Chain A
Amino acid sequence: MDLIFGSAIDVAPIVIFLFAFQRFVIGQPLTNRKQILVGFVFVVVGLGLFLLGLEKTLFPLGKLMAQQLTDPDFLYATVGKVVSDLAWHDYYWVFLFASAIGFSTTLAEPALIAVSMKANSVSGGAIGVWGLRVAVAIGVGFGVGLGCYRIIVGLPLHYFIAVGYFVVILQTMVAPKLIVPLAYDSGGVTTSTVTVPLITALGLGLSEAVPGRSPLLDGFGLVAFASLFPIISVLAYGQLAVLRERSSVNVSEERNPEKEE
């Protein structure tokens, strides 16, 4: 009950704003109030249930996985070393798991599917729906994997992010103009409501389990990695599409004169 009340308060601002705008700026009453009212009841109940489930499932699951993947017994069984001798690459199951989660959840992400279809239609088919989805998913998978590497070795987050955005700047200069805003946006849409809590819990769990790391300093940052690398991979995808088009144009130009001869 507390939860439902809480989520009602969370949803209240946007409801009030929308109604106020409809009433005072547009000056037209809403057409189907009943439907809208029912909709908001669903929103409030849904949000409450979701947050409850989150606490029972996604957070514990992320921490459980982190704990199991860094369990000394498990690591001893797979790489044959005790904890104090471990190098970062001995945690390869962590990287594998993190990348698999990043890749698979992104590929299934509805927001990304919607954005890809919109991008496909406004670009006149130049940007493929599947190509974009796979490009973003590879970016997220790699990003989350690298983020786990950072947590394990304990390097400062902003080194990686600064270098990452430097790469983005370089790519922006050479990438086709059409793809740039889309690439920047794809960083934000990749991380869904279900994925964010899970990978946050994974990062926090890792930082608790790896010796010498603290959750406060090292635990956060995976979501930032998951938002940065899709920008790089989508820019690369756009670059690749242009190169491919250019080379196919070249090929057809080379072929045509031969035919004429």
Chain B
Amino acid sequence: MKNSLIALANDAIGAVRDLLPIVVVISAFQIFVFREPVTGLVSLAIGAVFVVAGLTFFIFGLRLALFPVGESLAHALAEKGSVFWLITFAFVLGFGTTIAEPALIAIAAEAAQVAASAGAIESSDEAKSNYALGLRLTVALAVGAALVLGVMRILANWSLPVLIIGGYCLVVLLTTVAPKEIVGVAYDSGGVTTSTVTVPLVTALGVGLAGSLSGRNPMTDGFGLIAFASLTPILFVLTFGIIVQWI
């Protein structure tokens, strides 16, 4: 009990540290550049408390439940050596963690809002939540596919730069045919996917897998999964935009 309280306090410190640079920079600008009192300070402060408390509970819970199970599963599967299960696991891990990624939930809702107010989709709540959900599912599928590709790369020893550079050439090609409105959201979704939930689990999978294969260097083979997870969402969301435009 005492230990978990200490762990909870540590996570709270981590959440505050996450928010602190933002608070410092914004306060400095408010005090020295604008020299005006901020309106709605109370509401902002309450919101900040929610952010810190929410992030604290979220990370604390992840550490208690998701990370130990995920990491032990990643190691067990890497040792077991069944390629089929390893690849299935990589896919569901990517998909499941991305659906639960807080930043993506927030961005998808915002993108739906912007698309609706610009008239790209209907401005009913249902149309907006469908659009946001479609976006999230697309990104989640993309991250699942990315991890499958990443695991296959580690197993087959493919060259990372060749795959990544090829992928970005594909991004540029797709951009020329995709509707203009989706391009910004698509490029952003690459960076959004990989934060709180995905990174620790994915890194554990990659480094564990490269460590359990003979003749692999965890440094050059273990990393690189996140790079795929930042690339495929761009491709998938651009494709999503092209399909939505057609129907």
Contacts and interface: CB of A to CB of B under 8 A. Distances in A.
A118 interface: yes
Given A193-B55, A194-B51, A110 B229 contact: no
Interface of B: 14, 17-22, 24-26, 29, 33-34, 38, 40, 43-44, 46-66, 68-70, 73, 76-77, 80, 85, 89, 92-93, 95-97, 99-103, 105-107, 110-111, 114-115, 117-118, 120, 160-161, 164-165, 168, 171-172, 175, 180-181, 183-185, 187-188, 190-197, 199-200, 203, 207, 218-227, 229-230
14 contacts: A17-B95, A42-B64, A45-B61, A46-B59, A49-B50, A56-B46, A57-B47, A58-B51, A60-B43, A111-B200, A197-B106, A197-B107, A198-B22, A215-B118
Contacts of B60: 39, 42, 46
Contacts of A248: none
B191 A187 contact: yes
A218 B110 CA distance: 14
A56 B77 contact: no
Nearest to B76: A26
Interface in A36-92: 36-61, 64-65, 68, 74
A241 interface: no
B226 A114 contact: no
Interface of A: 10-11, 13-18, 21-22, 25-26, 30, 35-61, 64-65, 68, 74, 93, 97, 100-101, 104-105, 107-111, 114-115, 118-119, 122-123, 156-158, 161-162, 165, 168-169, 172, 177-178, 180-182, 184-185, 187-198, 200-201, 204, 214-224, 226-227
Q: Report which residue of A18, A157, A197 has the largest number of chain B beta carbons within 10 angstroms of its beta carbon.
A: A18
A96 B21 CA distance: 14
Contacts of B54: 45-53
- Interface SS of chain B: helix
Contact of B66 (A14, A51, A56): A14
B26 A220 contact: no
A176 to B, nearest CB: 10
Contacts of B187: 157-158, 161, 220-221, 223-224
Give 5 closest A-B pairs by Cβ, nearest first.
Answer: A39-B65, A53-B50, A220-B184, A50-B54, A42-B61
A61 to B, nearest CB: 6
Contact of B203 (A48, A118, A178): A118
Interface centre among B44, B58, B93, B225 (most CB of A within 10 A): B58
Nearest to B227: A184
A35 B107 contact: no
In this complex, the member of A30, A37, A157 whose beta carbon has the largest number of chain B beta carbons within 10 angstroms is: A157
B223 A181 contact: yes
Contacts of B58: 42-43, 46-47, 50
Contact of A196 (B85, B103, B114, B181): B103
A180 B220 contact: yes
A178 B219 contact: yes
Given A14-B92, A191-B103, 4 more contacts: A51-B54, A57-B50, A195-B22, A220-B187
Contacts of B51: 49-50, 53-54, 57-58, 194
A156 to B, nearest CB: 8
A97 B26 CA distance: 8
B51 to A, nearest CB: 4
A189 B219 CA distance: 16
A162 B105 CA distance: 27
A181 B47 CA distance: 37
Contact of A104 (B24, B97, B207): B24
A152 to B, nearest CB: 15
Of B24, B63, B220, B222, most A-chain CB atoms within 10 Å? B220
